[in-house]
Structure 1
Amino acid sequence: MRIFHVAQTSLAVNSAAWRIRAAQEAVGCEAVAAVHVPGDNSYSVKISFLNKRSLRLLDIVDRLPLELCRSKKKLPWHTGLWGSNIHALKKHNPDIINLHWVSGGCVDLASLRSFTQPIVWTMHDVWGVTAGCHCNLDCKLWEDGCHHCPQLGPCLYPDFSHTIWKTKKARLERIPNLSIVAPSRWLKDMVEKSPLYQGRKVVCIHNPLDVDLYRPLPKDAARAQLNILHNEKVVLFSAAGGIQVGYKGFDLLIEALHKLPGMLSQPIRLLVIGEAEPFTSKYPFPVTSLGVVTSEELLVAAYNAADVFAGPSRQDNFPNAFIEALSCGLPSVGFAVGGIPEIIEHKKRGYVANAFDVEDFATGLKFVLEYPAPHHLSTEARMWAMKKLSYFEVGRRYREFYSGLI
């Protein structure tokens, strides 16, 4: 079975798309990354004349119509009106075409109707069910056409967001062989409710993880590697883009952490991953910032050095950081939003706090940090990851789903 995974650039080894490709390869499939900008690897092919500069230009053109609107929120938004024609894929004769990143000029949805092969779209956020936002928060307008998007605000063009939504709907309806994979049941439910995908096959398959790499290691050795004291309680925050990505909720975590000193007998330390700029903010507790981490070995060391992973996201689908933490035996705390409750399981692999309730989030951190038998939480976390997220298990599920489409 030949599967071609469509993305913008060569897949990073810690991206969900790369891990899905690797999981399928692990069960005997020929899984290739079909990208506009290939990397120095043996698993990717180039599918267009585009390069990084022209992709960037397409992305700008895609978002240019948003200048007609007075945006109220600084959240990612793409129109999807323009994209690349990926017909070059046909010469490779794939059995399955698996889309990942579609917006930002990557794929022209209108061009997909000419493919005879089954097309599977693995959705990594909610862009597929909205007019164009990647993070809808508590907005429900996607259920009925995305009229007057609150993220865009007043627009010179009447009901601009609904016009974009109708265009997306018309293009999707012309793709006769489209199916959807959602990594979380939360997103699967959204897709099934969406008027954009009536009658389509939709399945939930979790994103995979190399559970042999992301594994428990001795905490003392991990702390020594990062120069962290043994008597501290370490709270880990990790997000692509660092603390500046608003929906990742770093501000909510800081509020919760300010409540912790009076609740704990030991000092706390905040460990931060993903911050591109020097970490200069002042807090009443020590902070260790590892910056942008590209080494998976260093990520594993950070997870093993911590006592709890804190993921205060305002919205997330099936975030890598949570599953990486749990696979390393690190209990996690998150809000009851998106797919997070499916990952943590309240008081079994961590703590699920009421949405955006910083008092409850602080209670969750205390619950994990003072749990009388911490190895029980760690063992539950590790066993769940090994059972649900291994390359073999997820690769097998994808292969079975593909087989039913061919």
Structure 2
Amino acid sequence: MRILLVHDLGGPAPAYTLPALRARSDVTVYVPRPGQWAATAPGVPDNGAVTVLLDEGGWDLGEEDEAVRRIVDAARRCAADAVLTFSELWAVPTARAAERLGLRGASADGALRARDKLLMREALAAAGFRSPVFAAIGGPADVVDVLKASGPGGVLVKPRFGMSAVGIRLVENADEAERVLAESRAGYTAFGMPVDPARAMLAESRFLGDTSGWYTRPGLGDQVCVEGLVVRGTHLPLGITDVMPKVPPFTQSAHISPTSLTPDAQRIVLDTARRAVDALGLDTCGTHVELKLMADGRCEVIEIAARYPGRTIVEQSDRAYGTDLVGHLVDALTDPGHPLPPALEPAQDIGGTAAATLHLYASEYLRDLPTPFAYAGIEPPPASLVDPAVRIVAFDERGHGWRVPQAGDEQPHWIARMYLEGASVDAVCRSVNRIRYETRLRRPVGAALS
């Protein structure tokens, strides 16, 4: 078996995905943006176990037809039996390439509905989901129109082809519309996104979540994620990821597995995720469904991705639920007779290892920095704040002296990140909360930069 992996920013790290891919096939990694290779290559073996194809460049990355052609060419060069990507940026051209090659994949139409937030909203509304007020927008007046038609909570403005919550902004008053729209549209530059030169935008009324009745454990946010797999059009949920309260306004800080939802709440979440995935018409791919927990006992769809999530969520979900998300996906793409993994069943005690991904951001510590700030570490050491039954498996932080950005989206600009594991969800939740709320930025003399 041979697999072509289209690789770029986003998705789980190669250090975790490549062993699962290599266990089943030879792997060729095609890199359409060689300029991003140094930032994304850690974990790719340099011993010849994986072939790396760096694109020669010299083409317009916004030309999707050319992107498809190049992926098809790379797949033919390595005689690939499957092509896949974990990067949101390349989900649609990879799906189109698979169709052109006669291989299994998400389906081009389904991948586009997952990628384009306007098409996603239209598909969900057609499937009978309770819908926010939403519209494609071209200017501030369009934002104001959506705002007038919406209830309390304001309106979210977002890039239709965004990723990782970058560019999402809240408009609560009409006089903010022009400024906020400009800020949101600038989100297209955060990852150098090679899509949609027109920078198409969407506005939608905001769902106001409420965790009352959903959790007995305190400190969790009003959003959950369902990690799963679609196999020939059938959705298999494989894990539920709880989300800690976000860094205002919309930056995700921590994810915890397994879920602390009650079994009845899990059934509602899993049924909603299944219906949402069905609405997009996906064929065979990994999925990541984000849901908002509502006060009336229902949950609403925030977004659906036709690929697995980034950070270390795949790893923590595998550890908590005993799955092999990457391996299951490869089996589904390459072997139609392979037994499917069992779908997740609601349970009071999931068992297994509890795990969490935690990112720390400067704004949680210093809300109003008058000048750029040089990062000098956090204190006390996070390891001193975790429960005895919890360990920090991986820790990474910015180099001391790194200039903390003062404007724009925080999501790409974490100051420290870590992956934790423990014997119980209680212990992991306590540890995450202590690290997040009891650490502080170390402020050396002369930290402000001119």
Q: Report the TM-score when normalising by structure 1.
A: 0.36
Structure (1/2) with the larger strand percentage: 2
- Structure number with higher helix proportion: 1
